[in-house]
A and B are shown apart, each in its own frame.
Chain A
Amino acid sequence: MKRFAELIKTLDSTNKTNEKVKALAEYFVMANDTDKVWTIAILSHRRPPRPVNTTLLREWAAELANIPLWLFEESYHIVGDLAETIALIIPSSTNSTEKSLTHFLDEMIALKPKTEDEKKTYLFYNWEQLNYYERFVFTKLITGGFRIGVSQKLMTKALAKATQLDEDVLAYKLMGNWNPSTISFQDLILEEKESDYLSKPYPFYLAYALEETPEDLGSVSNWSAEHKWDGIRAQVIVRNDEIFIWSRGEELVTDKYPEFQKFIGNIPNGTVLDGELLPYPNGEIGTFNDLQTRIGRKTVSKSLLEKTPVILKAYDLLEWDGKDIRSKNYLERRQLLEQLNKEKTKSRAIENSFLLSERLQFKSWDEVTKERARSREMRSEGLMLKHNHSPYQVGRKKGDWWKWKVEPLTIDAVLTYAMRGHGRRSNLFTDYTFALWQTNEDGEKELVTFAKAYSGLTDTEFREVDAWIKKNTLERFGPVRSVTPHHVFEIAFEGIALSKRHKSGVATRFPRILKWRKDKKIEEANTLEDLRSLIPNAVKESHK
């Protein structure tokens, strides 16, 4: 545990990726094997079930610190992290523990079925015994994951460095449901299996945003366009009668989308597709909100599958007949893809979950510009421009592929509530709620909440708003404060749809602060009606 606490401290105290990889790799060389397995499990969010709920944790921590619960809660709101708050308020100890990480986790697993009294005794004992940082790590293990900027990818990189194994192979080995209590480091990581390579994806080719005008790309006849779909970029691999779906974050998400299991047998082995996973309720592309109901679900209920099925909108073919065809040009690859699409539609089994992302050709850039203007109607974010002779490249590259998104929609709204941020923003009010004007039944103008946003200002501006909020608070509701309506901000967002879940009746996609409109008075902010008028007609129709 001492070594693990040191590791967490190091990871937590640097923003530099290289130093994190270095610290992790050193740990993976030095630590004992069971601790390594547990560390991998914890950093890939496979903690054991929480043995004590957070309500009890708060009560007990307040009791041990000899302070009233409300004071604990206030401190928590300001510190912004439960385990950190507990570690800070409990009287300090300078002891350190010799018990291993594995030992602690075994204890925590055994703790779950025990009585409240036993749990309390266990927590009090450890809280009092451990030094500040170990106490923080110990409590973190009980409360939840470590948000210390270590992605699965970063961890895999460090593991590759420590073991000299291939990163993609390791990524695959770490997928799925393995049990850290029973699996050995040898079985999980070191043992080589042929099947490890079966799922191996290709690196995604990513595009930069088009900065200049499309005319600068030369003759339009060299280019194709596709709509830029707003879902999850994914690679679908069918090999040896198995299917693997990788998200762009290089996360294996096969189990989350069971509708694609029927690709097996209907799409030939040795096929790798690049495309977008999109929600498809009522036989048409849904909004990102629809997709949100599927992301994060590990098990998908039958009713959810029926209500919000997911489809693959395929745009490229990377492997065909077991051969890597990425060096073929875009038109050749598309031809094979379109042929596959034609043949597979004979199979009714998959026609509902495999769709082609249409390749569009234009005679002039003007036509392309017009097509782009239709993006919101088409439920896309804009266009992708792809050079007809481009190979499928590795990573983010300039030149052959460009994304040309539509300009965000914007509206001027009034700041009404603020909440403290978390992590590096704890103790600063950086999470804001914005409202628009609406005339109520009595003919009075009132502000109605429409969106929350917490990005888009500079650190200096955040501090300025923070200081203002602290001096202009009307009411406090735990971590949230209502403030005097005074400041107007220009809010940008990518998409907009009617929503029953929102008080305003409108949901916006990816709202963020574009500009602090110090020049505007709150009376000059927009109305809810202005916001509704931005909803494209096609989207309105489908909700009727």
Chain B
Amino acid sequence: MKSPLLQFTEKGIYCEAAKVYLDPWRPVDKAIISHGHSDHSRWGHKQYITHHRNIPIIKHRLGHITVSGKDWGETFLINGVKFSLHPAGHIIGSSQIRVEHKGEVWVFTGDYKIEDDGLCTPYENVKCHTFITECTFGLPAFKWLPQSEVFNEINAWWSQNQAEGKTSVLFGYSLGKAQRLLKHLDTSIGKIYTHGAVENMTNVVRPLVDLPETYLITRETKKEELRGNMVVAPPSAHGSTWIRKMVPFVTATASGWMAFRGARRRRAIDKGFVLSDHCDWSGLLESIKATGAEKVICTHGYTEIFSRYLGELGYDARTESTQYEGEISEISASETENVEVS
């Protein structure tokens, strides 16, 4: 029996014909990388292939690696298998990976969203036979508002806090969400200060995108100068001693999980904004339909529920277990540290 074009192995998603892995979680010789989040671009591969906009990001995270960059839609052959990268709209430099061999086309999404966030290259629909999709928010309870509405809320919140003489502290993962926040915060309200992790990553992507000026919070930063301004920090800063400098302050998190009342209360955050770099329920369904795929493989998120529903819609759908984490990492860094890898 002919083995499938892509297989799920203990090291990652493997293309046997090309002897190459997609976003592997164990060290391999050759890896094609969808994007820079740590659950997709891991340390220890001999050779990395990724979109050229992702190169500065993974070099920042992984140090000296051997990496070659590709353009959107540029096809490259490995052992006769045709590969190309297409925008996934998830974060800067994030790609879907298209694999074609003997007339059969597979697409691996990595993580993706279909709304144009004004920062990364917008998601492109790619026709295929088999679509490997994430479904981090694969429940009908998840419905995103257009980001313009969410940012109106965020900016209004900032103005209100400023009127009350408080510092606004907004949590978002330092790669991706933080830059999206920076891009759309209204700098006519005040200055944007950053946590070191956000500042470093932002400086890495500044040559690629247009972002407003930010001010790194250092030991010398005075409490008074922060007042009324905005601080963008990674979720792990919540509850840390670092944050005490901001008093009086109010906190908010921007994440898809904030759709649930319980999720926000659990984290003892004052305000939750529902803003995600992943597809919502209808976003997943629409993009899958548009690919024309007959087979769908769900990799991470509410995989069992989502694939069962796809099955009822007539798709040949199944789940595969991977070590991708979806938006977990955006909630709190400590949560991912504690995830046991089985």
Contacts and interface: CB of A to CB of B under 8 A. Distances in A.
A304 interface: no
B270 A80 contact: no
Interface string A82-118: 0011001101100000000000000000000000000
Interface string A52-77: 00000000000001011011101100
A390 B263 CA distance: 47
Contacts of A12: 261, 265
Nearest to B281: A89
B339 interface: yes
A468 B340 CA distance: 7
Nearest to B263: A427
A15 interface: yes
Given A13-B271, A463-B335, A464-B338, A74 B265 contact: no
Given A460-B334, A463-B338, A467-B339, A65 B140 contact: yes
Contacts of A68: 309, 312
For this complex, into which size category does the number of interface residues on chain A fall?
35 or more
Nearest to A77: B305
A513 interface: no
Contacts of A81: 261-262
Nearest to B149: A94
A526 to B, nearest CB: 25
Given A463-B335, A471-B342, A78 B262 contact: no
Interface stretch (A206-214, A334-342, A418-426): A418-426
Interface in B43-62: none
A423 B265 contact: yes
A79 B270 CA distance: 20
A425 B265 CA distance: 8
A424 B335 CA distance: 16
B273 interface: no
Contact of A426 (B262, B309, B334): B262
B264 to A, nearest CB: 7
A460 B335 CA distance: 7
B151 interface: no
A132 to B, nearest CB: 9
Interface in B267-299: 268, 270-271
A428 interface: yes
A460 B334 CA distance: 8
Interface of A: 12-15, 65, 67-68, 70-72, 74-75, 78-81, 84-85, 88-89, 91-92, 421-428, 459-460, 463-464, 467-468, 471-472
Interface of B: 139-143, 145, 259-266, 268, 270-271, 302, 305, 308-309, 312, 334-335, 338-340, 342
Given A424-B265, A427-B262, A471-B340, 6 more contacts: A78-B139, A80-B262, A92-B143, A422-B262, A427-B260, A467-B338
30 contacts: A12-B261, A12-B265, A15-B265, A15-B268, A68-B309, A70-B308, A71-B140, A71-B309, A72-B140, A74-B305, A79-B260, A80-B260, A81-B261, A81-B262, A88-B143, A89-B140, A89-B141, A91-B143, A421-B262, A423-B265, A424-B262, A424-B265, A425-B266, A428-B266, A459-B266, A460-B334, A463-B334, A463-B338, A467-B335, A467-B338
